[in-house]
Amino acid sequence: MIGKVSVIGSGHVGATAARGIANKELADVVLLDILDGVPQGKGLDMFEACPIEGSDARVLGTNDYADTTGSAVVVITAGLARKPGMSRDDLLQKNAGIIKAVTAEVVKYSPDSIIIPVTNPLDAMCQVVHRESGFPRERVVGMAGVLDSARMRSFIADALKVSVENTHAFVLGGHGDTMVPLPRYSTVAGIPITELLDQATIDAIVTRTAGGGAEIVKLLGTGSAFYAPGSAVVEMVEAILKDKKKILPCAVLLQGEYGIRDLFVGVPVKLGAGGAEQIIEIKLEAGEQAALDKSADAVRELVGVLGF
């Protein structure tokens, strides 16, 4: 096995991510939660599924951070989930306190790890993790754009009735209503969707992508998405552990890139063993840059509320 991955939070997203990591035999997995018995039960259930999946990964459920010692990657899903009518912003203060406490434990037991925050509001929580950990920006990489792009890819494939494997989608900005899907950089078999779909259909896809999380929350009635977010985490963990140098949209701390400084915003990065090893900058048209700036302003407002 290639080291250990710890998932903090055994709710739907955390458990889905943990099982995906174990199923793909990427690493041994530690699933941690403050709820007594819940991570232990889910972890044991996952471990017992591994023989069926053909995976020799070990899965341990625990309430003790000592069991996470020496993790190569730590995924933080702990926190409160959105409820119907609740915006990501509503979660800000409550989840910030949770994330601060979790980050302190992660630093104590896995000081060399790469942290993947997943808790919402994502971009602001990345800022909390970065500040509390003192880690270099390369080692705090938020899961947002992989999920948002996957949603857009699904909608593109459905509109064109093509394989999702042919689709690539490009989404920048904060993980919320102000995210910036970029149709001219989104392709099907290398062909920009602007040449394959009419503007009304593209606009509908962009709008649905930005509201993808809220759409699922509304449909479920209670809870929020977890299958796609869990799979997005697994893709990021695999890119890091296998040093794939894969270009993925992630929330990273920008220091002048795209004209944004001291703020976590979703952009394409080269993800490998060192974490976010390179930020990929592309040329944006005036309207696209304005939309990205607006998205960054929304993130900055959240961060400001936290006093950062």
Going from N- to C-terminal start, the domains of the chain cover 4-139, 145-305
CA count, 13 A, side-chain hemisphere, 105: 20
Q: Would you identify the CATH topology of the domain 145-305? A: L-2-Hydroxyisocaproate Dehydrogenase; Chain A, domain 2 (3.90.110)
CB 266 within 8 A of CB 171: yes
Specify the pLDDT at position 82: 63
Q: Does domain 4-139 have CATH number 3.40.50.300?
A: no
Catalytic residue at 130?
Answer: no
Summarize pLDDT for 104-141 with one digit per residue, the tens: 999 999 999 999 999 999 999 999 999 999 999 999 99
In the chain, the amino acid numbered 16 is T
Same fold, 4-139 and 145-305: no
pLDDT per 10-residue tile (average), the chain, 308 residues: 90 98 98 98 98 97 98 96 65 91 98 97 96 98 97 98 97 93 97 98 97 94 93 98 98 98 97 98 96 96 90
B/e letters for 60-90, b = 16+ CB within 10 Å, e = fewer, are bbbeebebbeebbbbbbbbbebbeeeeebbe
**pLDDT of res. 199:** 98
**160-211: pLDDT as tens digits:** 999 999 999 999 999 988 999 999 999 999 999 999 999 999 999 999 999 9
The span from the CA of 308 to the CA of 289, in Å, is 24
Residue type, 272: G
Query: What is the model's pTM?
Result: 0.96
